[in-house]
Amino acid sequence: ARPRVGYFYTGQTSGTILSEEIKKLKVKEFQSLPVVISGSASAYKAVCEMFVEDVGSLFVVDDKGLLAGVISRKDLLRTAIGSQDMNQVPVNVIMSRMPNIAYCKNNDSVLDVAVLLITKEIDAVPVVQAKDTGFEVIGRMTKTNITKAFVSLSSGESNKF
C-alpha cells in the first residue's frame, strides 16, 4: 500500500506499537558496571564499598571470579542493627546465595528484567555470561536503570521506526 501524508500504515493499534517499542529496549543498552566483592570480606568492608561506589547491591564472586551471591543494603542494615560485630561477619554468611539468585543476560529485554525485579521484590540483578563452571558477572541492572529506560522512551531516543 502506498502511504499517504498524515497517515502511516501499521496494521496495529497504538497499544501494540508501544508494547513493541518497549520490548526493543535491551539490557546491554541500559546496564551499569557491576561492583563485586569477595565472600570472605567483612560486612563492614561491604558497607564501605557500597558508599564508595554508590551502589545499593554488591555481587559476591568466588576465587574464579564467578557469581556466588548478592548482598544488598537491606541485608547489611539487618546485620548492622543485630548484635554481631560488622568487622567479624563475612559477607558470605549474610548474602543471598546461588542458585537462589535472580539474574539476566545482556540480550534480555529491559521489560523482562523489570518484571523480574517486581516479581522477586528485589532492587538489582547481575547481568551474567555463562561459563563452563558458572556465571561471570558482566553488568548490573537495577530499578535505576529501568527508570532511565522509562525516561528514554519518552525522549524518542528509542524510536527506531
Q: Is 54 helix (H, G, I), strand (E, B) or coil?
A: coil
Interacting positions 89-128 with a copy of itself (CB under 8 A): 110-111, 114-115, 117-118, 121, 123
Look at the alpha carbons of 138, 40, 45, 117 in this order and tell me if their dihedral is positive or negative. positive
Nearest partner of 70 among 46, 53, 51, 86, judged by Cα: 46
Q: What is the rounded distance in angstroms from the CA atom of residue 126 to the CA atom of residue 98?
A: 12
Query: How many other C-beta atoms lie within 10 A of the C-beta of residue 151?
Result: 10
Among 64, 78, 97, 120, binds a copy of itself (CB under 8 A): 78
Nearer to a copy of itself, 24 or 136 (CB): 24
Site string for a copy of itself, 35-74 (x = CB under 8 A): ---------x--xx-xx--x-x----------------xx
Stretch that binds a copy of itself, among 6-14, 33-41, 93-101, 125-133 (CB under 8 A): 6-14
Interacting positions 136-155 with a copy of itself (CB under 8 A): 142-144, 146-151, 153-155
Query: How many other C-beta atoms lie within 10 A of the C-beta of residue 94?
Result: 19
* Size, binding site for a copy of itself by CB under 8 A: 57
